[in-house]
Chains A and B, each alone.
Chain A
Amino acid sequence: MEVKLYNNESEETMDELDQLIAHEINSQAQWQAMMQDWEQRKRRQRRLRLLPVISNIVSVAALMVLGFFIQSLMPEAKLADQNKADQLIPVIEKLVTPTDSTVIESVSPTRP
Protein backbone atom coordinates (compact mmCIF):
# COMPACT_ATOMS: atom_id res chain seq x y z
CA MET A 1 0.00 0.00 0.00
CA GLU A 2 1.44 3.35 -0.94
CA VAL A 3 0.69 6.64 0.77
CA LYS A 4 1.72 9.90 -0.79
CA LEU A 5 3.48 12.84 0.71
CA TYR A 6 4.21 12.09 4.37
CA ASN A 7 6.07 15.36 4.37
CA ASN A 8 4.87 18.06 2.00
CA GLU A 9 8.40 18.78 0.91
CA SER A 10 8.91 15.28 -0.35
CA GLU A 11 7.71 14.11 -3.69
CA GLU A 12 8.36 10.52 -2.76
CA THR A 13 5.68 8.03 -1.96
CA MET A 14 6.07 5.93 1.13
CA ASP A 15 5.54 2.22 1.24
CA GLU A 16 4.43 0.43 4.37
CA LEU A 17 7.95 -0.02 5.70
CA ASP A 18 8.76 3.65 5.28
CA GLN A 19 5.55 4.51 7.09
CA LEU A 20 6.54 2.19 9.92
CA ILE A 21 9.96 3.81 10.15
CA ALA A 22 8.54 7.35 10.01
CA HIS A 23 5.96 6.44 12.66
CA GLU A 24 8.73 5.11 14.94
CA ILE A 25 10.79 8.27 14.42
CA ASN A 26 7.73 10.30 15.40
CA SER A 27 7.07 8.20 18.52
CA GLN A 28 10.62 8.55 19.77
CA ALA A 29 10.67 12.27 18.99
CA GLN A 30 7.42 12.72 20.94
CA TRP A 31 8.94 11.11 24.02
CA GLN A 32 11.99 13.33 23.62
CA ALA A 33 9.82 16.44 23.37
CA MET A 34 7.81 15.41 26.44
CA MET A 35 10.96 14.94 28.52
CA GLN A 36 12.31 18.31 27.43
CA ASP A 37 9.02 19.89 28.41
CA TRP A 38 9.23 18.31 31.89
CA GLU A 39 12.81 19.51 32.30
CA GLN A 40 11.83 23.07 31.35
CA ARG A 41 8.91 22.98 33.78
CA LYS A 42 11.23 21.80 36.55
CA ARG A 43 13.58 24.71 35.86
CA ARG A 44 10.64 27.19 35.87
CA GLN A 45 9.37 25.79 39.17
CA ARG A 46 12.83 26.13 40.67
CA ARG A 47 12.99 29.78 39.57
CA LEU A 48 9.53 30.48 41.01
CA ARG A 49 10.55 28.95 44.34
CA LEU A 50 13.59 31.21 44.46
CA LEU A 51 11.59 34.35 43.64
CA PRO A 52 10.19 35.05 47.17
CA VAL A 53 13.63 34.45 48.69
CA ILE A 54 15.29 36.90 46.30
CA SER A 55 12.48 39.40 46.84
CA ASN A 56 12.97 39.26 50.64
CA ILE A 57 16.72 39.71 50.33
CA VAL A 58 16.25 42.74 48.07
CA SER A 59 13.67 44.28 50.47
CA VAL A 60 15.93 43.85 53.50
CA ALA A 61 18.89 45.29 51.60
CA ALA A 62 16.81 48.31 50.51
CA LEU A 63 15.64 48.93 54.08
CA MET A 64 19.22 48.74 55.32
CA VAL A 65 20.36 51.26 52.73
CA LEU A 66 17.50 53.58 53.65
CA GLY A 67 18.33 53.24 57.29
CA PHE A 68 21.97 54.10 56.74
CA PHE A 69 20.94 57.10 54.68
CA ILE A 70 18.60 58.43 57.35
CA GLN A 71 21.19 57.84 60.03
CA SER A 72 23.78 59.72 58.03
CA LEU A 73 21.51 62.80 57.86
CA MET A 74 20.81 62.91 61.57
CA PRO A 75 24.15 64.41 62.90
CA GLU A 76 23.79 67.42 60.54
CA ALA A 77 20.26 68.01 61.71
CA LYS A 78 21.46 67.93 65.29
CA LEU A 79 24.25 70.38 64.47
CA ALA A 80 21.90 72.81 62.72
CA ASP A 81 19.54 72.78 65.73
CA GLN A 82 22.48 73.30 68.08
CA ASN A 83 23.67 76.38 66.11
CA LYS A 84 20.24 77.94 66.21
CA ALA A 85 20.06 77.36 69.93
CA ASP A 86 23.48 78.93 70.49
CA GLN A 87 22.45 82.04 68.63
CA LEU A 88 19.16 82.41 70.39
CA ILE A 89 20.53 82.02 73.93
CA PRO A 90 22.09 85.53 74.20
CA VAL A 91 18.88 87.05 72.91
CA ILE A 92 16.77 85.23 75.40
CA GLU A 93 19.16 86.12 78.21
CA LYS A 94 18.94 89.76 77.35
CA LEU A 95 15.20 89.57 77.20
CA VAL A 96 14.87 88.05 80.59
CA THR A 97 17.52 90.24 82.30
CA PRO A 98 16.01 93.44 83.66
CA THR A 99 17.78 96.42 81.98
CA ASP A 100 17.10 99.77 80.47
CA SER A 101 14.10 99.54 78.19
CA THR A 102 16.05 101.16 75.28
CA VAL A 103 18.61 98.27 75.31
CA ILE A 104 15.85 95.68 74.95
CA GLU A 105 14.32 97.47 71.97
CA SER A 106 17.66 97.74 70.20
CA VAL A 107 18.49 94.02 70.50
CA SER A 108 17.28 91.79 67.73
CA PRO A 109 18.06 88.13 67.21
CA THR A 110 20.78 87.52 64.70
CA ARG A 111 20.05 85.24 61.90
CA PRO A 112 22.35 82.31 61.44
Chain B
Amino acid sequence: MANWTDIEMVEAVLHHDNHTLERCYRDCKSYFTAHAGAFFVAETLIDDIFQESMIHLWREIETRRIELCDGRLHRWNQGTLQPLNCSLRTFLLSIAKRKHWEQLRKQEHEVLTDDVRLLDSSRYGDAPPAEADEREVRERVVTDAVLGMSDRCRQILTMFYYEHRSLDEILALRAENTSKVGLKTSKYKCMQRLRDTVRAEFQRLRLHP
Protein backbone atom coordinates (compact mmCIF):
# COMPACT_ATOMS: atom_id res chain seq x y z
CA MET B 1 0.00 0.00 0.00
CA ALA B 2 1.50 3.34 -1.03
CA ASN B 3 1.79 6.06 1.55
CA TRP B 4 1.42 8.75 -1.01
CA THR B 5 -1.10 9.51 -3.68
CA ASP B 6 -0.42 9.92 -7.36
CA ILE B 7 -1.64 13.49 -7.14
CA GLU B 8 0.83 14.19 -4.33
CA MET B 9 3.65 12.92 -6.52
CA VAL B 10 2.59 15.03 -9.51
CA GLU B 11 2.45 18.12 -7.33
CA ALA B 12 5.82 17.31 -5.79
CA VAL B 13 7.39 17.14 -9.26
CA LEU B 14 5.81 20.39 -10.42
CA HIS B 15 6.73 22.26 -7.23
CA HIS B 16 10.21 20.68 -6.88
CA ASP B 17 9.36 19.32 -3.45
CA ASN B 18 12.45 17.14 -3.09
CA HIS B 19 11.51 15.82 0.33
CA THR B 20 8.22 14.34 -0.94
CA LEU B 21 9.92 13.19 -4.13
CA GLU B 22 12.49 11.23 -2.17
CA ARG B 23 9.72 9.49 -0.24
CA CYS B 24 7.91 8.68 -3.50
CA TYR B 25 11.16 7.45 -5.03
CA ARG B 26 11.82 5.03 -2.17
CA ASP B 27 8.24 3.73 -2.27
CA CYS B 28 8.40 3.25 -6.03
CA LYS B 29 11.72 1.45 -5.70
CA SER B 30 10.33 -0.99 -3.12
CA TYR B 31 7.28 -1.62 -5.29
CA PHE B 32 9.40 -2.01 -8.40
CA THR B 33 11.86 -4.41 -6.77
CA ALA B 34 8.98 -6.50 -5.46
CA HIS B 35 7.28 -6.77 -8.87
CA ALA B 36 10.11 -6.51 -11.39
CA GLY B 37 11.07 -10.16 -11.02
CA ALA B 38 7.86 -11.16 -12.79
CA PHE B 39 8.83 -9.17 -15.89
CA PHE B 40 12.59 -8.97 -16.10
CA VAL B 41 14.89 -11.72 -17.07
CA ALA B 42 18.17 -10.01 -16.26
CA GLU B 43 18.36 -8.89 -12.61
CA THR B 44 21.49 -6.88 -13.33
CA LEU B 45 19.40 -4.51 -15.43
CA ILE B 46 16.79 -3.80 -12.75
CA ASP B 47 18.48 -0.82 -11.08
CA ASP B 48 19.37 0.90 -14.36
CA ILE B 49 15.96 0.33 -15.86
CA PHE B 50 14.27 1.59 -12.71
CA GLN B 51 16.23 4.84 -12.75
CA GLU B 52 15.66 5.41 -16.47
CA SER B 53 11.96 4.73 -16.04
CA MET B 54 11.70 7.15 -13.10
CA ILE B 55 13.36 9.88 -15.17
CA HIS B 56 10.93 9.14 -17.98
CA LEU B 57 7.95 9.35 -15.62
CA TRP B 58 9.13 12.60 -14.00
CA ARG B 59 9.77 14.22 -17.36
CA GLU B 60 6.28 13.24 -18.54
CA ILE B 61 4.91 15.01 -15.48
CA GLU B 62 7.22 18.04 -15.90
CA THR B 63 6.30 18.49 -19.55
CA ARG B 64 2.66 18.06 -18.55
CA ARG B 65 2.10 15.03 -20.68
CA ILE B 66 0.63 13.66 -17.45
CA GLU B 67 -1.44 16.27 -15.73
CA LEU B 68 -4.12 16.75 -13.17
CA CYS B 69 -7.52 17.57 -14.57
CA ASP B 70 -10.77 17.63 -12.57
CA GLY B 71 -9.04 15.98 -9.62
CA ARG B 72 -7.89 13.05 -11.72
CA LEU B 73 -4.75 12.23 -13.64
CA HIS B 74 -4.86 12.43 -17.43
CA ARG B 75 -2.29 11.77 -20.10
CA TRP B 76 -1.78 13.22 -23.57
CA ASN B 77 -1.84 10.41 -26.07
CA GLN B 78 -2.22 10.69 -29.83
CA GLY B 79 -2.83 14.37 -29.45
CA THR B 80 -5.77 14.02 -27.05
CA LEU B 81 -6.02 14.20 -23.30
CA GLN B 82 -7.20 10.86 -21.92
CA PRO B 83 -7.76 9.71 -18.33
CA LEU B 84 -4.92 7.67 -16.93
CA ASN B 85 -6.57 4.36 -16.08
CA CYS B 86 -3.87 3.02 -13.82
CA SER B 87 -1.73 4.22 -10.92
CA LEU B 88 1.59 5.93 -11.56
CA ARG B 89 3.39 2.90 -10.15
CA THR B 90 1.67 0.61 -12.67
CA PHE B 91 2.48 3.12 -15.41
CA LEU B 92 6.09 3.11 -14.24
CA LEU B 93 6.19 -0.67 -14.63
CA SER B 94 4.85 -0.40 -18.19
CA ILE B 95 7.62 2.11 -19.05
CA ALA B 96 10.16 -0.24 -17.50
CA LYS B 97 8.89 -3.24 -19.43
CA ARG B 98 9.33 -1.39 -22.70
CA LYS B 99 12.84 -0.26 -21.78
CA HIS B 100 13.73 -3.79 -20.75
CA TRP B 101 12.69 -5.17 -24.14
CA GLU B 102 14.70 -2.47 -25.87
CA GLN B 103 17.77 -3.37 -23.79
CA LEU B 104 17.39 -7.05 -24.59
CA ARG B 105 16.98 -6.27 -28.30
CA LYS B 106 20.11 -4.11 -28.20
CA GLN B 107 22.10 -6.87 -26.51
CA GLU B 108 20.80 -9.46 -28.95
CA HIS B 109 21.86 -7.52 -32.01
CA GLU B 110 25.05 -6.18 -30.42
CA VAL B 111 24.61 -2.92 -32.19
CA LEU B 112 26.75 -0.05 -31.04
CA THR B 113 25.07 2.86 -32.57
CA ASP B 114 24.58 6.54 -32.08
CA ASP B 115 21.07 6.19 -33.35
CA VAL B 116 18.25 7.81 -31.53
CA ARG B 117 15.22 5.62 -31.12
CA LEU B 118 12.59 6.67 -33.62
CA LEU B 119 9.80 8.66 -32.07
CA ASP B 120 6.36 7.14 -31.87
CA SER B 121 4.57 9.81 -33.84
CA SER B 122 1.16 8.50 -32.84
CA ARG B 123 1.80 9.89 -29.34
CA TYR B 124 1.57 13.44 -30.56
CA GLY B 125 -1.43 13.01 -32.82
CA ASP B 126 -1.67 13.93 -36.47
CA ALA B 127 -3.04 17.42 -36.29
CA PRO B 128 -0.88 20.39 -35.37
CA PRO B 129 -1.39 21.29 -31.71
CA ALA B 130 -3.20 24.42 -30.64
CA GLU B 131 -0.99 27.48 -30.28
CA ALA B 132 -1.34 27.42 -26.48
CA ASP B 133 -0.08 23.83 -26.39
CA GLU B 134 2.77 24.25 -28.87
CA ARG B 135 5.47 24.84 -26.30
CA GLU B 136 4.50 21.78 -24.29
CA VAL B 137 4.29 19.55 -27.36
CA ARG B 138 7.73 20.78 -28.47
CA GLU B 139 9.14 19.93 -25.04
CA ARG B 140 7.58 16.46 -25.13
CA VAL B 141 9.06 15.72 -28.54
CA VAL B 142 12.51 16.80 -27.34
CA THR B 143 12.09 14.85 -24.08
CA ASP B 144 11.23 11.66 -25.95
CA ALA B 145 14.10 12.13 -28.40
CA VAL B 146 16.62 12.63 -25.59
CA LEU B 147 15.17 9.68 -23.62
CA GLY B 148 15.69 7.54 -26.72
CA MET B 149 19.40 8.38 -27.06
CA SER B 150 21.95 5.61 -27.00
CA ASP B 151 23.90 5.24 -23.74
CA ARG B 152 27.04 6.33 -25.54
CA CYS B 153 25.51 9.59 -26.73
CA ARG B 154 23.93 10.19 -23.34
CA GLN B 155 27.24 9.85 -21.59
CA ILE B 156 29.12 12.18 -23.95
CA LEU B 157 26.43 14.85 -24.09
CA THR B 158 25.75 14.75 -20.34
CA MET B 159 29.44 15.19 -19.58
CA PHE B 160 29.61 18.08 -22.03
CA TYR B 161 26.40 20.00 -21.34
CA TYR B 162 25.56 19.09 -17.75
CA GLU B 163 28.95 18.53 -16.16
CA HIS B 164 30.58 21.22 -18.34
CA ARG B 165 33.61 19.04 -18.98
CA SER B 166 36.04 19.93 -21.74
CA LEU B 167 36.63 17.51 -24.57
CA ASP B 168 40.06 16.74 -23.12
CA GLU B 169 38.50 15.80 -19.77
CA ILE B 170 35.88 13.63 -21.46
CA LEU B 171 38.61 11.94 -23.50
CA ALA B 172 40.52 11.14 -20.32
CA LEU B 173 37.40 9.62 -18.71
CA ARG B 174 36.20 7.55 -21.66
CA ALA B 175 38.38 4.64 -22.68
CA GLU B 176 36.21 4.07 -25.75
CA ASN B 177 37.38 7.28 -27.40
CA THR B 178 40.99 7.31 -28.48
CA SER B 179 41.30 10.74 -30.07
CA LYS B 180 39.92 14.20 -29.52
CA VAL B 181 38.90 14.45 -33.17
CA GLY B 182 36.99 11.18 -32.89
CA LEU B 183 35.26 12.37 -29.73
CA LYS B 184 34.31 15.68 -31.33
CA THR B 185 32.87 13.79 -34.29
CA SER B 186 30.89 11.49 -32.00
CA LYS B 187 29.48 14.45 -30.10
CA TYR B 188 28.54 16.17 -33.34
CA LYS B 189 26.85 13.03 -34.70
CA CYS B 190 24.88 12.50 -31.48
CA MET B 191 23.60 16.08 -31.55
CA GLN B 192 22.89 15.91 -35.27
CA ARG B 193 20.79 12.78 -34.88
CA LEU B 194 18.82 14.40 -32.09
CA ARG B 195 18.26 17.51 -34.19
CA ASP B 196 17.15 15.47 -37.21
CA THR B 197 14.74 13.37 -35.15
CA VAL B 198 13.20 16.37 -33.47
CA ARG B 199 13.03 18.47 -36.62
CA ALA B 200 11.29 15.67 -38.53
CA GLU B 201 8.57 15.49 -35.87
CA PHE B 202 8.31 19.29 -35.65
CA GLN B 203 7.82 19.43 -39.41
CA ARG B 204 5.15 16.78 -39.29
CA LEU B 205 3.28 18.70 -36.61
CA ARG B 206 4.03 22.00 -38.30
CA LEU B 207 5.78 23.36 -35.25
CA HIS B 208 8.45 26.01 -35.46
CA PRO B 209 11.91 24.41 -35.10
Contact = CB atoms under 8 A, between A and B. Distances in A.
A29 interface: yes
B26 A32 contact: no
B161 A22 contact: yes
A27 B62 contact: yes
Interface stretch (B31-39, B64-72, B76-84, B142-150): B142-150
A81 interface: no
B191 interface: yes
Given A17-B198, A21-B198, A29-B162, A34 B59 contact: no
B18 A34 contact: yes
A79 interface: no
A28 B54 CA distance: 10
Interface residues of B, number: 35
Contact of B160 (A7, A24, A30, A34): A7
B22 interface: yes
A29 B164 contact: no
B13 to A, nearest CB: 10
Contact of B209 (A16, A22, A28): A16
A35 B146 contact: no
Secondary structure at chain A's binding surface: helix, strand, loop or mixed?
helix
B58 A31 contact: yes
Contacts of B55: 28, 31-32, 35
B157 to A, nearest CB: 5
Interface of B: 18, 21-22, 25-26, 51, 54-55, 58-59, 62, 138-139, 142-143, 145-147, 154, 157-158, 160-167, 191, 194-195, 198-199, 209
25 contacts: A6-B161, A7-B161, A8-B164, A8-B166, A9-B160, A10-B160, A17-B199, A18-B191, A20-B142, A20-B198, A21-B142, A21-B198, A24-B143, A24-B146, A25-B154, A26-B161, A27-B62, A28-B59, A29-B162, A31-B54, A31-B55, A31-B59, A32-B51, A35-B55, A38-B26
